[in-house]
Structure 1
Amino acid sequence: MMRVKDPQRSLEFYKFLGLNLVIKMDVPEGKFTNYFMAYTGPQSINGDKHFTDLQGTIELCHNWGTESDPNYSVVNGNTEPYRGFGHIAIAVDNIEAACKRIEDAGYPFQKKLTDGRMRHIAFAKDPDGYWVEIIRRAEQNLSATTDPSSYRMNHTMLRVKDAEASLKFYQESMGMALVRTVENPDNGFNLYFLAYPAGKENIQDGAHGNTEGLLELTWNYGTENQEGPVYHNGNAQPQGFGHICISVDDLQAACDRFESLNVNFKKRLTDGMMKNLAFVLDPDGYWIEVIQNERIKRTSNW
């Protein structure tokens, strides 16, 4: 979930990247609207499943009135002292053609393919300045064209203070599997990619570009030795990124399990008005929303 200033501009951008609006939720008591976007349809991994059963989803949260507030802006997670959330990543069929299409449409880049040493990735910027990494799918379209309906919402990147503690949490408490590690000692960081079993099925020969819903943890060497919190979770002021979300087979049972594992809660099922979701906290204080997978067990009228 990412907070946005002007939902129409944001929806236009993400639709341009091939994502479809799968559900819109107005919450008048909170004066906000959530827009859930995903790759659906014949060329997608997801097909036309219920939004709680999709492998990769982007949630855009619009607090009413921000679009006309000249003083409102979000932090994108990549500027000091508010670094934390890094980016989302879209895997495309032809990276050169996809980047040209984005540039021709007038959208800015944080990093073009030709910038720096890493010529295999680019970073576009959405209307709020969030970074969107553009990576190659494992199977490349060899023509000079690109088809956004074939793209994948590949991963979400979060910076973590202590790689060992975070990997332990996401594997043992959240049930994810470590599917790829990229060590970069020359630049002082490691990348860890985690997935659930459904996502692992689409990872071929170690290449993860064909799948969706991965979590990338970035660990910069030495941060584990710093005192106190290192990264901004996006929910303390100033705000931007909000949370990642997992859907589970049985919401009550999953929350009971988290309790038994002494996982920290931001919101239990019994807290507040929304009794059909919970929020737990990871070791860096990032929020993880927990919802029911409605395909497995129907509980809500979403």
Structure 2
Amino acid sequence: MRMLHTMLRVGDLQRSINFYTEVMGMSLLRQKDYPKGEFTLAFLGYGDEADHTVLELTYNWGVSEYEMGTAYGHIAIEVDDVYQATAQAKEKGCKILREAGPMNAGSTIIAFLEDPDGYPIELIGADHVRT
């Protein structure tokens, strides 16, 4: 078994695709409209779906926003340098929720960004220790 994807519902598909490709550096892997269901799916990631877990963006036609549930946490993305990645995201107009720095209960360097629909994204340094 392996994890295939995480799905987020988005209110403006092109805006979200632009964010995940231009700010987060993902590639748009595939996109398809489903007219009978009135939705569009877009899959993005850092590598081919055969080998990598990807992000599925679901746009339900005519729905421009969603309420953020209290159970949702965040997406975590490993980056080489959290400070640099945060600065680059800020330069591209991304909202920074937490500036880069050590986490509260340890030394791992993290930051939090917000995507166009309000989903938090944690950036974690590539040198973090997996426990």
TM-score w.r.t. structure 1 length? Answer: 0.40
Q: Is the 8 A contact 1:265 1:280 kept in 2?
A: yes
Q: CA deviation at 1:301?
A: 5.3
Q: Amino acid of the residue matched to residue 213 of structure 1?
A: T
Q: CA deviation at 1:271?
A: 8.6
> Which deviations, in whole Å up to 9, do the C-alpha atoms of 1:110-143 show, x marking residues without a partner?
xxxxxxxxxxxxxxxxxxxxxxxxxxxxxxxxxx
Q: Does 1:289 align with 2:122?
A: yes
Q: Does 1:257 align with 2:88?
A: yes
% same residue: 40
**What is the aligned length?**
128
Extract unaligned runs of 5+ from structure 1: 1-150, 201-207, 225-229, 295-299
Q: Does 1:216 align with 2:49?
A: no
Match of 2:14 among 148, 164, 169: 164
| 1:76-225 equivalence runs, <5 A | 151-196=1-46, 199-200=47-48, 208=49, 210-224=50-64
Q: CA deviation at 1:177?
A: 0.4
CA distance in 1, matches of 2:85, 2:126: 11
Q: Is the 8 A contact 1:280 1:288 kept in 2?
A: yes
Bigger Rg, structure 1 or 2: 1
Q: Amino acid of the residue matched to residue 293 of structure 1?
A: A
Q: Is the 8 A contact 1:233 1:242 kept in 2?
A: no
Match of 1:100 in 2: none
Residue 273 and residue 194 in structure 1: after superposition, are their counterparts in 2 closer, same or farther (change >3 A)? Answer: same
Superposition RMSD in Å: 1.9
Q: Does 1:278 align with 2:111?
A: yes
Residue 248 and residue 219 in structure 1: after superposition, are their counterparts in 2 closer, same or farther (change >3 A)? Answer: same
Secondary structure class of the residue paired with 1:269: strand
Structure with larger RCO (C-alpha < 8 A, sep 6+):
2
Q: Is the 8 A contact 2:76 2:122 kept in 1?
A: yes
CA distance in 1, matches of 2:101, 2:74: 20
TM-score w.r.t. structure 2 length? Answer: 0.88
Residue 244 and residue 301 in structure 1: after superposition, are their counterparts in 2 closer, same or farther (change >3 A)? Answer: closer
Q: Does 1:248 align with 2:79?
A: yes
Q: Is the 8 A contact 2:74 2:122 kept in 1?
A: yes
Q: Is the 8 A contact 1:152 1:212 kept in 2?
A: no
Q: CA deviation at 1:248?
A: 0.6
Q: Amino acid of the residue matched to residue 188 of structure 1?
A: E
CA distance in 1, matches of 2:103, 2:29: 36
> Which deviations, in whole Å up to 9, do the C-alpha atoms of 1:146-177 show, x marking residues without a partner?
xxxxx121100000000011011111111100
CA distance in 1, matches of 2:86, 2:21: 16
